Amino acid sequence: MDMGIHNSFFHGSRPCPNPLLDLCDPLRSFATKVPQNAAKFPLLLKAIYSFSARHKTLTGSFDPVRSSEYYDECLTELRDVLAAYDESGADENLFAATIILRVLEEIDVVDNGTDQEANLLGIHAFVSTGSFFESPSSLSIASFWVGLRQGIYKAVINKRPVGLSVDHILVEQSLERRDYHSVANNAVVHCTRVLNFCFDKGGVRNVEEWNKLWISNEYWEKEHVAFHTPIFEASNDVPFPQIWYHQSCQVIGVQHHLLAKSYLIRFKLKFSATGTRNSSSLAKGEAEADIQRIVRTLCGIGLGNQWTPPGMFTACMAISAFGASFTQRKDQEAMIDILRKTEKDHARPTKLVQEDMMKAWGWSASTWTPTQVPPWPDTTQYATNLNMNNNMGYQQDQ
């Protein structure tokens, strides 16, 4: 193995997968347990190297041929492991390797143009293996929550149900807890249910079910005020407010809560279509204004907390879902800036979303100049000093 790639993961230099994965895990299992286990589980080690090499290639600092060789070696190892795999003895290391390979699969869309979703299907298989979670390890639990967030990302981008069941013992256990990481995970679960409600045409989609989801959304917001209150907010900044949080789980929890709220507001219009033309138009205008406020907030959270890259990913999800409704050129350009910055800095493919938005807005890339987003403060060192994955003595809900 190349020592540069080895050092990039095991000695703290980016890129490595754990900043993208250990968002709502107080034990930071991908940063702590995965490197230890990788020494004894070759597939896990090769998955780490494959991701690191591919990420370096897409951000312009590694040989693409060598990157492909790492990935080929990883796939060979994966085939050997699966050939001897016994579902009754599901392995936490195989689950974690599948999660890392799914991240690699997501960023590979940049070159392939399509998402094969092979590892996403593997995640579904693990989650559906009920006996695997009877006495789950911390790494298995962490992998479950990462897999659920990966499913949400794909559901939003492709406008489809999440596909992963949240009728799960880990979800039941999380709903009973009130620590910050569990509060964030509960918001992720709620977002999953909302997306399934909106996109599963074969499911229950009536006013009663919508009301249940809306009440759940409002309850979370009222019950966890301390959790979703930022440490800094400049709400009047344009085009997006500056919003800072001190933990990655807050960024992810608040964003998924707001994303779910946006979908519920949009979907409610389907139940308002029976009113008069004037009342329906008014309701639609109010709903779109509410959604645009939320999207601005989601983008502001992503930009203000760039020390946790998935905050930018969720901002891109919001743009993909609701960006077409923005009519002001300055807002549109600022959203394109976010999409392009996310792909450039984190190898997260956004070109298709950019093209969809430009088409919806009626303009082409040749007419765009990246000048709209203001010079956001670099909060990376600030985040490092605060040690974001610890609660640092802040009072949490009990």
**Amino acid identity at 340:** R
**Amino acid identity at 215:** I
d(CA 101, CA 78): 10
pTM to 2 decimal places:
0.84
Place 195 in a pLDDT band, splitting at 50, 70 and 90: very high
Residue 148 corresponds to which tokens in the numbers above?
């659920």
Residue 392 corresponds to which tokens in the numbers above?
């640092």
Containing 232, the helix (H) or strand (E) segment is: strand 232-234
pLDDT (average), residues 289-296: 97
d(CA 302, CA 315): 6
Handedness of CA 81, 87, 92, 98 (dihedral sign): positive
Mean confidence (pLDDT) of the chain:
81
Q: How far apart are the first and last CA of the chain?
A: 47
Other CB atoms within a 10 A radius of the CB of residue 144 amount to 24
Q: How far is CA 349 from the centre of its chain?
A: 13
Containing 58, the helix (H) or strand (E) segment is: helix 42-58
Instruction: From residue 322, give the alpha-carbon distance in Å to each of 118, 291, 319, 373, 396.
Output: 28, 8, 5, 19, 32
- Supply the angle between the helices 42-58 and 3-10 in degrees, to the nearest 10: 100
Residue 200 contacts residue 233 (beta carbons within 8 Å): no
Instruction: From residue 267, give the alpha-carbon distance in Å to each of 1, 159, 278, 302.
Output: 51, 13, 19, 24
Choose from 37-51, 103-117, 248-262 the range with maximum mean pLDDT. 248-262
Poorest-pLDDT segment among 177-181, 258-262, 372-376: 372-376
Poorest-pLDDT segment among 12-21, 58-67, 115-124: 115-124
Residue 62: predicted pLDDT: 74
Residue 118 contacts residue 104 (beta carbons within 8 Å): no
* Rounded CA Rg of the chain: 21
Does residue 295 carry a pLDDT above 90? yes
Place 132 in a pLDDT band, splitting at 50, 70 and 90: low
pLDDT (average), residues 207-232: 95
**pLDDT one-digit tens code per residue, 146-165:** 989 999 998 999 999 998 87
Which runs of E-coded beta strand occur in 235-382? 242-244
Place 13 in a pLDDT band, splitting at 50, 70 and 90: very low
Residue 169 contacts residue 177 (beta carbons within 8 Å): no
pLDDT (average), residues 18-29: 91
Q: What is the DSSP string of 91-150?
A: -HHHHHHHHHHHHHHHHTHHHHSS---HHHHHHHHHHT-GGGGSS--HHHHHHHHHHHHH
d(CA 296, CA 294): 5
